[in-house]
Structure 1
């Protein structure tokens, strides 16, 4: 009796063998997506391998004849530099702030777009406007809005506080105010992207499940936590993964707004300065590989942490 009881869970966890139809559909999927997958693999794999190869050399464009093999010395130099770890901390702070706020706001906007019936297309078009603006353009707009000499934010803050705020406050003169403006600009621009991904998850939820929960007496918050969110776990994971990876590679906003002043340099800015401005291809390639390793690690943490089978959509 005990043996039968112990074996039942193991048998239930075993996956059923694929049918002939499922096997043929899977093979057809690989056949159709295979060429595109190979092209994408070649396009992305070559730069990665080339950067990895260059990272093993001391190589400056200003001294092409001085190229020599140094092994892992560039990685030791990068990891031993305090600037790299400061940039890692700044990037992590901005990523955490923006992704968390965007998740909350994006979910609220997605709920609104999902519930509204009449002006649904108009509402979705309006929501997408910030995301359609080029990042450089939006970054300059936020820069001019918060600058002491050209901005209107200080004027309105001073007006609303009856002169207590002061019009001479320099938002980019210290670390946390600058991070606040950078994060705010990121949230304004990319929250629509988050909301669209979450809206796709909401659209996959069977309305009958919510109706059944309402009939059983569940309130709005109970239906939200017990029915809606658990059934859109895959959409939440994809939204968080995409936005976290994108936010961790942030470059435009801090580069335009602060230029890295007051210790606001991000990882992408460090890589840019080393590779483009100093033309140090060897060390710059090592920094690029380390940034790529960060991105891969983040992706693995999300996929393993959420434990979502995207092939089954749950």
Structure 2
């Protein structure tokens, strides 16, 4: 773990303190926090953060609802149908992200896509509509592809949480006359709070680091550049190792902040949830 995580993080922090362009290695000079000052005072960074937060918030919210619904279906399905349902639901998640992104690109592309032809009857959409020609439509396609791909991940984690809800509590609530919604709010959700926190935390961290779909579909055009793509553009495209490393470190700090926020917000004792205390 130290070899594959701690060392790269430390190396990125170290490189971020230098003004260093790969095409001019001899001009490398210690810059202290200068790279961070450049990034944090640049509107491009804040726009990328805004787009990333927007995509993350929308996708995680929708995936949480759909994932919970799918988890309920799988949990209540007949024993003979459960393996089939779980396999079918997990197929999108099993597909490599790059392959999935290309599939959605071809489906919505103005030249190769079938979406605009099939849905030309919808107001605002015609066969000549370029779905990647504006921010609104492009980010919508990215969000849809993310939801399709990763909702099974949340549903699987929530299914594990549903399995931990004691059936005797459900039966007792029924005897007391509680409705389905009351049982859900008072019994089911409180007893799977740890699973909900883990599912939302993992998915939020993953969504905040979105890269593949943006890289394949838009290359950051039409204002769809996210933080991960900004780091890629600075490091790989422009060969600005110092600035790119600084963006990566800031992304890492954002991920840490998100993790702390979730843990503090949910106030879940994971040791107790595992039955260890």
The TM-score normalised by the length of structure 1 is: 0.85
Q: What does residue 289 of structure 1 align with? A: 249
Q: Which whole-Å CA distance do the structure 2 matches of 1:174 and 1:45 have between them?
A: 39
Displacement of 1:42 = 4.2
Q: What does residue 177 of structure 2 align with? A: 217
Mapping for residues 200-215 of structure 1, pairs under 5 Å: 200-215=160-175
CA displacement 1:206-261 (0-9 Å, x = unmatched): 11110110111111111111100011000000000000000000001011111111
Q: Which whole-Å CA distance do the structure 1 matches of 2:3 and 2:257 have between them?
A: 22
Q: What does residue 118 of structure 2 align with? A: 156
Displacement of 1:164 = 7.2
Displacement of 1:155 = 1.1
CA distance 1:165–1:282, change in 2 (3 Å): closer
| Gap regions ≥5 residues in structure 1 | 1-39
User: Aligned to 1:195, which of 128, 139, 155?
Assistant: 155
* 2:19 alignment partner, SS class: strand
Mapping for residues 184-263 of structure 1, pairs under 5 Å: 184-263=144-223
What is the total number of aligned residue pairs between the two structures?
273
Matched, 1:114 2:86: no
- Higher CA-based Rg: 1
Matched, 1:56 2:17: yes
Q: Which whole-Å CA distance do the structure 2 matches of 1:156 and 1:210 have between them?
A: 45
* 1:262 alignment partner, SS class: coil
| Greater shift in the superposed pair: 59-68 or 40-49 | 40-49
Shift >6 Å, 4+ stretches: none
User: Aligned to 1:140, which of 98, 102, 107?
Assistant: 102
Q: Which whole-Å CA distance do the structure 1 matches of 2:146 and 2:100 have between them?
A: 9
Q: Which whole-Å CA distance do the structure 2 matches of 1:116 and 1:268 have between them?
A: 39
Q: Which whole-Å CA distance do the structure 1 matches of 2:6 and 2:96 have between them?
A: 28
CA displacement 1:123-162 (0-9 Å, x = unmatched): 100111000001111111111111122111111112x44x
The TM-score normalised by the length of structure 2 is: 0.96
User: Aligned to 2:60, which of 94, 99, 117?
Assistant: 99
Matched, 1:312 2:275: no
Cα RMSD, aligned residues only: 1.2
* 1:60 alignment partner, SS class: coil
Displacement of 1:165 = 3.5
Mapping for residues 165-180 of structure 1, pairs under 5 Å: 165-180=125-140
